Chain A
Amino acid sequence: MAVKRAGFFTDTSVCIGCKACEVACKEWNGLQGNSPNLLLDSFDNTGQLDAENWRHVKFYERMPDQANLVEQPASTGGGQAFLMMSDVCKHCQHASCMEVCPTNAIVRTEFDTVYIQQDVCNGCRNCISACPYNVIGFNQATGTVHKCTLCYDRLQNDLTPACAKACPTESIKFGDVDTLHQLADARLAALQKQGYSKAQLYGRDDKVYGGLNAFFLLMDEPEVYNLPNRANAVLPSRNNLPGYLGGLATAVVAVIAGLIAFRRRGESEETKA
């Protein structure tokens, strides 16, 4: 049965960094990938999410004796020494990209996912500067922007998205968001019971962009994974009112200044005459 609210629950505690998700995503979606690039950044040569990479396994290596790591279980650095996370579009409930898109190319689908209509997008790239997760990329060949569709075509055919299908450790779980919430809550409780005190869910509740359809179980603070924390999960439209008010105030002051300048100069001309 097709899901009502489609989403991913990515459990980073069981990610082994195999990148099967990246490969499966490219295979299914016909993404060519970028030219090979040796980034010398741990095992990461993908670099970032973009038009050709809709899944990206991030690697964060930290020594167990580094400050802030949980001491127990000591031998593994509290599960925080070698963090891996398969990143993806979050399909935010309050989506920054959708908010600024001037052409309405970015829509919410019947599966409650965020989707870029390729035949509507005109490549203005406003969404790229809005997405706080560095997700959307511009493709020179198509002249449009691209990101994860949550395998929209597979959803229409009642199939599991390619990345979740390929993930060998079930780090990426696909399903209805409400069901995934229950799974995530149980997994978090189990980890906390084992002593992983910094384990937390990101995007499970509505505190981050109204809730994320693709949410995560993290082993440390969101900032460690280059994710904006709750305080910084803000929408572009927050700057509309102050921006326009600043412009209006400047306009009023500038018009008064102009009138004074024109009057003063005019009067001095008359005095001369």
Chain B
Amino acid sequence: MTLLAEHFVKPPEWTWYILTYFFLAGLSGGSYALGALLRLSRRPGYQAAARLAFLAAFPLILACPLLLTLDLGQPLRFWHMLFDSANLPALNFKYWSPMSLGVWALSIYAAFAFVSFVEALSSRVRRLLAGGLGAVVAVLGGALGLFVAAYTGVLLSVSNQPVWSDGWPLGGLFLASGLSGAAALLVLAAGYRPQLAEGVRALSEADRYFVAIEAVLVVMFLVTVALAGSLGKLFSGIIPLLWLFVVLGLAVPVVAHTRTRPILPLITSLLVLVGVLALRAAVIFGAQS
């Protein structure tokens, strides 16, 4: 008899706060990155959508430290993540621990998101950042946004938890899904405002590419987990229902595009967002079931 050699790990009981954090971090990072791309395109028709993306990115990331703090067993010690409490004012920075790296990235990203938020609100700041400085902010903030959306997946992978540590594609998967969700969120927030119409069409088109990348990564993730023998965890209890929403979120933008009678963009966007949330829920709760 061959015994399955594996790790015997307790679940860390990361649940609703962490799920919500992963969801919002993906949407915020994705929104900022899309806003940066739209802004740097310099196409006048896209600039209103870029501003909308920056207006969304900052409030979304603002909720994240709160969620992370509430999840701690000792919330008042949240600052121990950044400072060495036993050796003040020394900083705590462990690049090999995604949680440590992520907290720093989140903090710096939030500063960029704030600058771009103010830029989107104030025409005076916009004039100030019209030149190269604004482009640098957008590029750096965009890169940090992509990191914030992706590292949450790497954080799960860098463990010994079956499912999470079995697959390396989680970082990429959460990034692709964050970008897809952000595009959907911006389309939803834009509504039918004419000044945003051109940006909305561009974002809808980009979303179809993002869901294609995400679909490939979902398959790669499931294959790596299956090869490690942990796939059963991802399909236990009500988790298959979550995968159903993931598949819907991936299929609807493509189906909506190919139909002659268009499906309402609002419904498409809502289903994509539900899929983005369901993906994270399936991965988080499935592994800990």
Contacts and interface: CB of A to CB of B under 8 A. Distances in A.
Interface of A: 48, 50, 67-68, 96, 99-105, 117, 119-126, 128-134, 136-140, 142-145, 221, 223-224, 226-229, 231-232, 234, 236-237, 239-240, 242-247, 249-251, 253-255, 257-266, 269
Interface residues of B, number: 74
A231 B4 CA distance: 12
Given A228-B8, A232-B5, A247-B175, A265 B103 contact: no
Given A258-B209, A261-B209, A129 B154 contact: no
* Dominant secondary structure at the B interface: helix
Interface in B105-151: 146-147, 150-151
Given A124-B73, A262-B37, 7 more contacts: A68-B1, A100-B97, A101-B94, A129-B14, A240-B98, A244-B150, A259-B41
Interface of B: 1, 3-14, 33-34, 37-38, 41, 43, 45-46, 71-75, 77-78, 80-81, 84-86, 92, 94, 96-100, 103, 146-147, 150-151, 153-154, 156-161, 164-165, 168-173, 175-176, 179, 198, 201-202, 205-206, 208-210, 213, 217
A263 B202 CA distance: 8
Contacts of A223: 3-5
Given A243-B157, A250-B175, A262-B41, A229 B5 contact: yes
Contact of B9 (A129, A246, A251): A129
B158 A243 contact: yes
Contacts of A264: 205
B202 A262 contact: yes
Given A142-B73, A262-B206, A266-B43, A96 B171 contact: no
B99 A124 contact: yes
B1 A67 contact: yes
A31 to B, nearest CB: 17
Contact of B171 (A68, A124, A126, A246): A246
A254 B73 contact: no
